[in-house]
């Protein structure tokens, strides 16, 4: 196999960018930026696969990993929060040195395997394997010569999925309160608003609007009757004038 000049130029441009993106994925503080850098690394790998005549792997790399897995990561980040960050405090003593040692050992193993497969050997290419088609050639090798590693990797992925489910599952330490217990707790607070529930926005006010706080029976405003979104945007109207109207009306009725 003869490496053409355009392929070499593409490699020397994209390979450093992929390495820089991979390092940035580990060093950036925001999870969204890390996910985007990981997506770029996956797209670069797909381009390398296609350039090496492994069309099926390149398309799968884009459709499955970049399209599906990365979207899953982004959805999780949207649910958890964009500004959330992981704590760097060690919960298990000595875990960081073990992780660093394992990473160095795994990196050395990968370098040794790649060096053994490439040093002193000429690149062959995939012309022979793709003689009957890229998908057919890949399936033939995967389910004949490499069927045992394929099954081992499958078992590892299933074990990892089960381990993640076990680690994510936790039993409740406190029993969930029943409806009767919740009702008793509300009435024991001694607050009429807590027992009967807060009125809707705009109740007992001049304007029946969602940005006007409701008034409690004593005439005080109920800020919790306004949506938190309106509060954050500063769209909540002051209820002092509505409180004053109700108080004046109560005084007149008492007289």
Residue 183 lies in a domain: no
- Considering the domain architecture, whether residues 113 and 7 belong to the same structural domain is answered as yes
- Asked if 242 contacts 212 with a C-beta cutoff of 8 angstroms, the reply is yes
- Considering the domain architecture, whether residues 18 and 112 belong to the same structural domain is answered as yes
Rounded to 5 degrees, φ, ψ at 170 are: -145, 145
Tell me the per-residue pLDDT of 79-117, one tens digit each, with 9 for 90 and over.
766 555 555 666 677 778 888 899 899 889 988 888 887
- Considering the domain architecture, whether residues 108 and 202 belong to the same structural domain is answered as no
Residue 11 lies in a domain: yes
Residue 147 lies in a domain: no
- Considering the domain architecture, whether residues 115 and 224 belong to the same structural domain is answered as no
- Model confidence, pTM: 0.52
- Considering the domain architecture, whether residues 108 and 220 belong to the same structural domain is answered as no
Instruction: Give kind and range of the element (H or E) at residue 96.
Output: helix 95-118
172: DSSP letter: -
Residue 30 lies in a domain: yes
Residue 77 lies in a domain: yes
Residue 144 lies in a domain: no
- Considering the domain architecture, whether residues 109 and 214 belong to the same structural domain is answered as no
- Residues (pLDDT < 50) of the chain are 193, 243-255
- Considering the domain architecture, whether residues 211 and 121 belong to the same structural domain is answered as no
- Considering the domain architecture, whether residues 32 and 120 belong to the same structural domain is answered as yes
Give the model's pLDDT for residue 77.
Answer: 73
**Domain containing residue 41:** 1-84+104-127
224: DSSP letter: G
Give the model's pLDDT for residue 247.
Answer: 44
Residue 137 lies in a domain: no
Among 149, 157, 5, 6, smallest CA distance to 69 is for 157
Structural domains counted in the chain: 2
Residues in the chain: 255
- Considering the domain architecture, whether residues 120 and 202 belong to the same structural domain is answered as no
Give the model's pLDDT for residue 155.
Answer: 93
Give the model's pLDDT for residue 197.
Answer: 59
Question: Domain containing 53 — which CATH number?
Answer: 1.20.120.1200
Give the model's pLDDT for residue 246.
Answer: 43
Residue 180 lies in a domain: no
Query: Bridge-partner residues for 222, per DSSP?
Result: 214
- Considering the domain architecture, whether residues 204 and 112 belong to the same structural domain is answered as no
Give the model's pLDDT for residue 185.
Answer: 77
């Amino acid at each position: 196999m003869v490496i053409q000049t355009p392929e070499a130029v593409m490699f020397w441009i994209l390979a450093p960018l992929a390495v820089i993106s991979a390092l940035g994925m580990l060093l950036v503080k925001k999870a969204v930026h890390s996910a985007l850098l990981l997506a770029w690394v996956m797209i670069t790998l797909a381009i390398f696969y296609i350039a090496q005549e492994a069309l099926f792997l390149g398309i799968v790399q884009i459709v499955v990993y970049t399209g599906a897995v990365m979207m899953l990561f982004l959805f999780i980040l949207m649910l958890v929060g964009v500004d959330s960050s992981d704590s760097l405090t060690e919960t298990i003593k000595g875990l960081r040195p073990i992780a660093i040692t394992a990473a160095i050992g795994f990196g050395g193993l990968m370098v040794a395997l790649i060096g053994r497969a490439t040093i002193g050997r000429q690149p062959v290419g995939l012309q022979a394997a793709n003689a009957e088609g890229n998908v057919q050639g890949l399936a033939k090798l995967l389910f004949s010569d490499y069927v045992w590693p394929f099954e081992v990797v499958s078992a590892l992925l299933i074990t990892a999925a089960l381990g993640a489910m076990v680690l994510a599952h936790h039993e409740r330490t406190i029993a969930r309160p029943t409806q009767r217990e919740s009702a008793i707790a509300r009435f024991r607070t001694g607050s009429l608003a807590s027992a009967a529930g807060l009125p809707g926005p705009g109740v007992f006010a001049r304007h029946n609007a969602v940005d006007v706080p409701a008034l409690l029976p004593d005439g005080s405003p109920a800020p919790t009757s306004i949506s938190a979104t309106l509060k954050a945007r500063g769209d909540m109207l002051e209820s002092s004038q509505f409180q004053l109207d109700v108080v004046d009306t109560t005084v007149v009725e008492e007289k």
